[in-house]
Amino acid sequence: MMKAVFYFPNGYTEEKEFITDKFQYTEVYYNELAPADNSARLRIPFDIDFSNKLKIYANDDVKVEIKNDDDSNYFTGYLRKNFSFEKTQRNQPISVELVSPSFLVRKELTSSIFLLNKTVTEIITLLLTTIGFTDIAELDITDIVTVFTAQDGDDISEIITQLLYEHGYTFDFDNNGAFITYTIFDQPPETITQVFDGETNLKKVSQTCTEEKFTNIQGSWGKIEYKENILLFRDTQGADAAHQAQIPVEPRSYIFGTEYNYLEYDSTFGDVKYVTSITDEIIYDNVMRKSLENEGTRAKLSIYNMTDIVRYVTKMEIYGNAYVQTATNKSVVQTGNKLYEFDILYLNDKAKINLLIQNIANYYKYADFSFSLQSKTNFPLGSFVTVSEYGMGEITGRIISKTYQLNKPINYVIEAVAEFVPADVPETETTVDWNDSGEKGPTGDTGDYFEVIYTRADTRPDRPTGDTPTGWSNDLSTLSGTEIVWQSTGRKNAAGTLQGNGLTRRNIRT
């Protein structure tokens, strides 16, 4: 029998059976391409000792594992701080909710990080281990980030979300609570074998079409260049004809009145992202003591006057080799005026950036169509399926959400990843009794109509264009050969002229 194991602080562990017919588990692939928590709801028969533990440790992080019959983990999460108790004639079962461990990575950096030419996997692993999160599944994102910087106080979850998003991923946690990543922009295969239709235990289906959320995708990004021996800092206070600076240092004191001074780098070439090494031209009396360190985006300077009279620094310049953002660019895919604008922080390759913007535009173009359905067929979260139902048309989509209840159909949410194929309009035959008819009315306007055409090919053919595309026919019986049959649907006007291109091609027979 399934059970839940609660790991309370101070080493307390408690195994509890739960009411299986009230158990519900929801896993989410993404929410508009962003990470989303998985969750589980369960009801546990009332136990006064257990209820006391829940109240005592209500403000602590209580890890919970839901176990299968073979003791493997079905889900690993943490107790939400909103459990409930109810009593009528007797105490009712305790209702609790569990969520993914994502809150464990919503922490701030306590020190700045500067990295050069590291893979996405290396960066994420470092960020997570910095905050003590070491339960990381094997990651394999080998894309190189030329310059990575994160500042003291930055939110690690936000950094990881942005870094993965730009490289086409999102993150989640597996059934053991380990950090994992998913791809979000991969394309469906040419042939999809997973199908929801009237023959796959389909219980209920609903279709939703919403207005396209964004039609103008704009990403701003900077061109990063490596510059050698460039001026990064200069202080000219007190300069005169004989000296480039006259900066006083009081007796037995530090320059600027403090032991350590942090000098932010700047350059006429652009925004300084990271400095690999520095040299200085700081001229001062040899009775003063100086130390200078490079900290990536700033220098740490200390100058101490060891005498009893005022001394002067007569030149203060710092040079170095640095990665500099020398230009700001913008990549745009626009089909309308609904603006989605964001900054690209970790990519600086133009081809990759343009692909990212196109992928985001494609997502919003197709995600306005979705299906919600119930089925006993269990397809993996994030996998591609075809949903085809009589009278509702067809989409190729990705499973973005699954909700389980034991011994009941699975509730799916599926977002389109290709164009919607309209439902076929059945032909009808009307018999008119002319003896009972009234007077003939005026001739009405002839409207547009959908035409279905077919072709044979071993692989997915190009989208057909034109009124009578070569190799395609509206009569399936005229096609010879043994290749896969492909279908395309297009809108024509009354004159038979195609309006736009043919719609998504789909294989209907092998």
Number of other residues whose CB lies within 10 A of the CB of residue 94: 20
Q: Determine the Cα–Cα distance for residues 482 and 470; give it in Å rounded to an integer.
A: 18
SS3 state of residue 322 = strand
Please report the pLDDT score of residue 444 as a whole number.
46
Helix (H) or strand (E) segment spanning residue 247:
strand 247-249
Instruction: Please report the beta strands in 120-215, taking only residues with DSSP state E, as ranges in sequence order.
Output: 144-150, 169-173, 179-183, 195-196, 202-209
For residue 503, is pLDDT > 60?
Answer: no
- Taking the C-alpha atoms of residue 343 and residue 363, their distance in angstroms, rounded to an integer, is 18
Q: How far apart are CA 45 and CA 43, in angstroms?
A: 7
CA angle at residue 134 from 130 to 135, to 5 degrees?
A: 150
Torsion angle defined by CA atoms of residues 174, 179, 183 and 184, in that order, rounded to the nearest 10 degrees: 90
Contacts of 465 (CB under 8 A, 6+ apart): 498, 501, 502
Count Cβ atoms within 10 A of the Cβ of residue 377 and give its class: 0-12 exposed, 13-18 middle, 19 or more buried: middle
Distance between CA 506 and CA 388 in Å, rounded?
11
Provide CB contacts within 8 A for 337, sequence distance 6+: 215, 216
Cα-flanking dihedrals φ and ψ of residue 51, to 5°?
Answer: -65, -35
**Quick one: pLDDT band at residue 510, thresholds 50, 70, 90?**
very low
The secondary structure of residue 297, as a DSSP letter, is S
Coil/strand/helix, residue 309 = coil
- The tens digit of pLDDT for each residue in 286-326 reads 999 999 999 999 999 999 999 999 999 999 999 999 999 99
Q: Is residue 85 very low, low, confident or very high in pLDDT (cuts 50, 70, 90)?
A: low
- Residue 431's pLDDT is 32
Per-residue pLDDT band for 424 (boundaries 50, 70, 90) equals: very low
Mean pLDDT for 478-497 is 75
Residue 269 clears pLDDT 80, i.e. is over it: yes
Q: Average pLDDT of 343-358? A: 92
